Structure 1
Amino acid sequence: MLQLQDFRAARRLISPHMRLTPVFAIGQPDFGAALRNGTQTPDLFLKLENLQVSGSFKARGAMNAALNLDATVRENGLVTASGGNHGMGVINAARVLKVPVKIFLPTNTPKPKISKLRKSGVDVALHGAVWDDANHAAMAHARETGMAYIHPFADPNVIAGQGTIALELLEQQADLDTLVVAVGGGGLISGVASAAKMLRPGIRIIGVEPVGAPTLFESLKNNEVVTLPSVNTAATSLAPRQSSALNVDMIGKNVDRIVLVSDDEMRTAAGWMWRELGLSVELSAAAGLAAVMQGRLGDAAPGKTGIIVCGTGTDGQ
């Protein structure tokens, strides 16, 4: 299990290559008709990881994992499977290290992300219908070529890198009562929840998944890693069919609640952020705000609430 010193070490290692993203205090906004009746809007603080290098928080974990590789291992290059954001993070790490890189994407990756990755000039391959299929191909490629495989969520170094967000956020806004985090495979919330609970044991951590991809919701309910028979959400970066034992264990120990939101609710939240705040975010990055707008935090008075806005994009508009 990761310790606080692991997150601090990750922060020292990656900070020369990352941005200290701002926290945007928006008070108790008026959501108008989009707000669920009877819901009390808490004081909201948005951690803008959509402004991070490569466009999302994923750059943190990818960089920490890459920098922790032995130099002789990483000289053959880096390979991964991604819904888009992790791929951009691994590309960024490969550029810093000046090594080759190959990214496997599932065919359900939003077209703008595929285009963005291909325009970066690296080797991009489409494989399989969902992330899990692309991941099998990436791991096979790593075995065949000797390239270093970087998992997007089931890797302690990736988790430590993502957890550096909590170190920053609780320096920028030390009195948060609740922290809301979108959940895909679980790497972000595993790191953020673990680090946040070490720094502020009383903080509540709420995870948010799509209704059409409740991977961690079902795994925690069954107390084991559950493989979904299928996924059905436009928020494809939150849609692996399976997480991992590492992530399920960390989330089970540190996360207070996993809640579900629909694609339409995420679109409503993303649209509000564009109209009212001028933030263009991917659908997945609106999941946390959608949970707040729909009163899903499970507490009538959640207090000062932080939301990690995890990635930029236009598919939420």
Structure 2
Amino acid sequence: MIALEDIRTAAARIEGNVRRTPMIAAGNLKTPLAGGVDLTLKLELLQVTGSFKARGATNRLLSLDPAALAHGIVTASGGNHGIATARAGFMAGVPATIFLPTNASPAKIEKLRAWGAATRIVGSAWHESNEAAQAFVRETGAVYFHPFADPAVVAGQGTVGLEILDQMPDVTTVLVAMGGGGLVSGVATAIKALAPHVRVVGIEATGSPVLLRALEAGSNVALDRVTTSVATMACAKTDDRIFDIVRDKVDEIVLVDDDEMLRAARSLWFEMGLAADLSGAAAIAALAEDRVRIKQGERVCAIVCGAGPDAILG
């Protein structure tokens, strides 16, 4: 699907249009986020639009001939990719239409509309919204921005991995939240090409373990049902190419439930003043609940992948 050179090309292409996000040590806390783990946070919640998704959507946009955008752009999203696509529409000066499931965050829907996007609520899960978005493409000729099954999007997300290795060259384990698998695929491709000894751990919602179940089955199977309330981590089936990357390059997948992610988000807000959405807190939840085995001396990076008011409003 992608190679290291695609990620490096994406990094050069999107430079100046997205942020190189900071990394901070998670130390000197009242209640440590992860016990005695030597933990550093990659703050993608400080990315433009509030999540890593801006990287992939911007790379997709800048990969296109502007003439192809005459009928606008469209996507289906749990929220964060939709906001990134709405910004891409703003950058290009073309209409953006975002299809969302009923469990999408009201705060994210409001933000989409503030970017000038048209929003359509269809279905109870992403795959149902996606069917409607694909029909919209056929009707209008708008360009579709897939949230994870697009090489340009995955290459853009992979630039997070390049930055982690540059900012934290002694990292030993990287924790990545997973929905459809675009972020973990890009990050793992970059890391395994440049530092194959680094462990990449994916974190899925208990109510949407799509890649874990596919790996257990040995093929890219679909879930019978998705029960998580975290729309940004809800996916009934991933792309075959994403499945192949995860099978080959991700070392382990662990699960956390919605309440565990909420507790982790509240900890991030209380301890560090970081307003993460629940997917953004998934890596912290995996550590806090002792789902990831960390050996003494390891240096762990947790990607705080998205911003949101979940912990503040809760």
Give the TM-score normalised by the residue count of structure 2.
0.95
Q: Counterpart in 2 of 1:73?
A: 68
Amino acid at match of 1:247: I
**Secondary structure of 1:118's partner?**
helix
Q: Counterpart in 1 of 2:247?
A: 252
Q: Counterpart in 1 of 2:149?
A: 154
Aligned-pair distance for 1:150?
0.8
Q: Does 1:140 align with 2:135?
A: yes
Q: Does the 8 A contact of 2:122 with 2:128 survive in 1?
A: yes
Q: Counterpart in 1 of 2:191?
A: 196
Amino acid at match of 2:112: L
Q: Counterpart in 2 of 1:237?
A: 232
**Secondary structure of 2:204's partner?**
strand
**Secondary structure of 2:200's partner?**
strand
User: How far, CA to CA, are the matches of 1:212 and 1:131 in structure 2?
Assistant: 13
User: How far, CA to CA, are the matches of 2:107 and 2:127 in structure 1?
Assistant: 20
2:168 to 162, 170, 173: 173
User: How far, CA to CA, are the matches of 1:237 and 1:214 in structure 2?
Assistant: 13
2:51 to 56, 69, 84: 56
Q: Does the 8 A contact of 1:163 with 1:194 survive in 2?
A: yes
Aligned-pair distance for 1:234?
2.2
Q: Counterpart in 2 of 1:9?
A: 9
Amino acid at match of 2:20: L
Q: Does 1:102 align with 2:109?
A: no
**Secondary structure of 1:298's partner?**
coil
Runs of 5+ unmatched residues, structure 2: none
Q: Counterpart in 1 of 2:119?
A: 124
User: How far, CA to CA, are the matches of 1:56 and 1:102 in structure 2?
Assistant: 19
**Residues 81-96 of structure 1 mapped to structure 2, 5 A cutoff:** 81-96=76-91
1:281 to 276, 280, 290: 276
Q: Does 1:24 align with 2:24?
A: yes
Aligned-pair distance for 1:217?
0.8
Identity %: 46
Q: Does the 8 A contact of 1:10 with 1:64 survive in 2?
A: yes
Q: Counterpart in 2 of 1:112?
A: 107
Aligned-pair distance for 1:108?
1.2
Amino acid at match of 1:123: A
User: How far, CA to CA, are the matches of 2:3 and 2:254 in structure 1?
Assistant: 27
Q: Does 1:186 align with 2:157?
A: no
Q: Which runs of 4+ in 1 moved over 6 A?
A: none
Q: Does the 8 A contact of 1:11 with 1:164 survive in 2?
A: yes
Runs of 5+ unmatched residues, structure 1: none
**Residues 274-313 of structure 1 mapped to structure 2, 5 A cutoff:** 274-301=269-296, 303-313=298-308
**Secondary structure of 1:205's partner?**
strand
Q: Does 1:220 align with 2:218?
A: no
The alignment's C-alpha RMSD in Å is: 1.5
| Partner deviation per Cα, 1:221-274 (whole Å, 9 max, x = no partner) | 112112111111222100111111011101111100000011121111111100
Amino acid at match of 1:7: I
Aligned-pair distance for 1:307?
0.7
Amino acid at match of 1:20: R
User: How far, CA to CA, are the matches of 2:282 and 2:227 in structure 1?
Assistant: 15
Q: Does the 8 A contact of 2:103 with 2:125 survive in 1?
A: yes
User: How far, CA to CA, are the matches of 1:244 and 1:28 in structure 2?
Assistant: 41
Q: Does 1:261 align with 2:253?
A: no
User: How far, CA to CA, are the matches of 1:6 and 1:304 in structure 2?
Assistant: 27
Q: Does the 8 A contact of 2:265 with 2:310 survive in 1?
A: no
User: How far, CA to CA, are the matches of 1:74 and 1:48 in structure 2?
Assistant: 31
Amino acid at match of 1:282: D
Q: Does the 8 A contact of 1:28 with 1:41 survive in 2?
A: no
User: How far, CA to CA, are the matches of 1:92 and 1:302 in structure 2?
Assistant: 41
Aligned-pair distance for 1:28?
7.8
Aligned-pair distance for 1:98?
1.4
Q: Does the 8 A contact of 2:57 with 2:145 survive in 1?
A: yes
**Secondary structure of 1:96's partner?**
helix
User: How far, CA to CA, are the matches of 2:208 and 2:259 in structure 1?
Assistant: 14
User: How far, CA to CA, are the matches of 2:266 and 2:248 in structure 1?
Assistant: 34
User: How far, CA to CA, are the matches of 1:49 and 1:154 in structure 2?
Assistant: 21
Amino acid at match of 1:16: G
Aligned-pair distance for 1:302?
6.8
